[in-house]
Amino acid sequence: MNFAGVNKKKIYEVSAITGEGIEALEEAIHNYMDKHRNKK
């Protein structure tokens, strides 16, 4: 397992072999980026 995170408070386990955990990480990235994209 590899570890990845959007911020220091939430770290996701992602498998480079099976892809397990990628969906949760992608969702977290999109949620994080949406907050920053919509700032004006």
What confidence tens digit (pLDDT) does each residue in 1-39 have?
787 777 778 888 899 899 999 999 999 889 888 888 877
Q: pLDDT digits over 23-32, tens only? A: 999 998 898 8
Both tokens assigned to 3: 């570890």
Q: Answer whether 23's CB lies under 8 Å from 11's CB.
A: no
Please state the pTM of the whole predicted model: 0.67
